Structure formats: structure tokens, C-alpha cells
Amino acid sequence: MRYVTFEHGGRVRPGLLDGDGVSPLLGCRTLLDFVRLAEADRAAVLHEAPLPLAEVRLLAPLRPHKNVFCVGRNYLGHAEEIARARGTELKLPPVPTFFTKAPTAIADPEQTVHFDGALSTQYDWEAELAVVIGTRCKDVSEADALGVIFGYTCLNDLTARDLQQLHGQWFKGKSLDESAPLGPWVVSADEIPDPQALQVSLRVNGVVKQQAPTAQMIFSVAAIVASLSFSSVAAVIIGALIGRRSSGDWLPSAVRQLSLVLLAAAVTYEAGRLLAIAGRFAR
């Protein structure tokens, strides 16, 4: 199943995407409310007759109340790339490297994303697999970790690299407003029995800049969830970084098309210049 948050007639509602229609979910104000329900209660939720997809506007499917937890340097090719750029020996991390993006970083797949050229000249992009945890958990084992996942979606980790380096840590450069376009829908976990068997790619101006299988993640989705939940309650969206880019290949000043593709979902951003990267949902 594919779950969405949409706007229709000035009203924002959660829904179920079915072909060319969106069926509003009843009894849930937001998709987050639906995710928080027990599995049996979710199955009992009714929905209205579908609205034509062409008549609704798809928004970010989820807007968490707390920070989005992300994992950096989790793709082998990316780690090798960084080591080459720095001229250092490749050393893989013994544990996941967590960082966060503020809730205000979440952006809709169709909204205009505003970046200030005076703030940074090194805006970077990275395709991520976003994991939605559906069960509040703590100290979950790696063997049981996939069982707490509600679904998966796309997240583009936009970063001001020079700002990140200036501050010496990741939060500021990675947590600018609108720096985490999310969606357009969440694919339920039952449709993805093995999250390490996915392909993720990203295009800039029609040119493929990232393409990698999740099988090359240093830490699997299950290992990441287990590590995050160790002595901490996990009930959040996780962006599991798997992207790869060419070192120093920043967003060009004239971005015509920036797209992130995962599964059957595609998010496309179009604009005439970097300061206003507009987005349009593409099926």
C-alpha cells in the first residue's frame, strides 16, 4: 500500500493511494496519527470514496514533531569517495554515525525550496531511503528490527557543505529550512520484505548522479534501527543515508531538474536557478 498526505479543497488529510485515486482515511487527522495506531487498529480504519489524483496536491507524507534521525557515511562507495578526496586510508565506522535534521527541514514534494546563495555556495544533494518506524520500541534486537517498521519513502538530504564544515558538526549545515524534501508517499513494509534489495538513484538536469543498491549499505536498515533503539525510545522517521556523489560536484546555479527515484516513487524539482528550486510530482 502507498500512504499519502494530501490537500484538497483547502483541507489537509491522510489517504491511501490507489491507482489514479486517493481515498481519505477516516478517523485520523494526520498520517502520523494512523502510523501510531496498533496494527489491528490500522486494519480497522475505514476510508472514503477515492478522489481523483489529478485534483489533489500531494504533501510530505509525514511531518514528525521531533528531529528526523539520519545516518551518515553509511554507503561503502561514499566512504571510499571521501577517503580518496582526503587522501586518507579507508576506515569503516564501527557503529552508525547518527545526526539529525530539524522538523522544519521537511519539505513537500511539490513546494518551492528556497536556498540563499549568500549563505552557501556548496549546496549538496544526497538520495536517502527514509524508514518510518511504526512501533514505539526500545532495545529492539537486529533480528526483530524490521518488524517495527511501518514503511519506506524517499528523502533528499540537501546540505550546505561549507556551512557544515564551518561549524565543525553536521546539524547546522544539514538542518536548514526545507532541506529535506520527503515523499511523495510511504510504501508499506509488507511490499518491501527486504530493504537491502532496493535500487536508489538521483538525477540532476536529467543526468544520473547517484545510483546504488541498498545492499551496499555499511549498516543494514535492521542494524540501524537496533542501534538507534539501544537505551533510547525510537518512534521516528530515519533517513538511512545511502547516496553517492562526485566530490565537489555541487548543485549548479541553474538547476533545471533534480529528481530522486526510489521504487515506484519519483520526486522532481525544477527551477531556473538555485535560489528557487521548485518541485513537481512525477509519476
Instruction: Please report, in angstroms and rounded to a whole number, the separation of the first and last CA atoms in the chain.
Output: 16
Q: What is the mean pLDDT of the chain?
A: 81
C-alpha 142/C-alpha 115 separation (Å) is 38
Cell 493511494 maps to which residue?
17
Q: What pTM did the predictor assign?
A: 0.84
Does 124 or 248 have the greater pLDDT score?
Answer: 124
Give the model's confidence band at 28: pLDDT under 50 very low, under 70 low, under 90 confident, else very high.
very high
pLDDT exceeding 90 applies to what percent of the chain? 37
- Which tens digits make up the pLDDT trace of 131-181? 999 888 889 999 999 999 999 998 888 888 888 888 878 888 888 888 888
Which domains are seen in the chain, by residue range?
2-59 (no CATH), 68-281 (3.90.850.10)
Kindly give, in sequence order, each residue whose CB lies less than 8 Å from that of residue 107, ignoring residues fewer than 6 positions away: 60, 113, 178, 179, 180, 181, 182, 279
- Which tens digits make up the pLDDT trace of 207-232? 777 778 888 899 999 999 999 888 77
Q: Is the pLDDT of residue 9 over 50?
A: yes
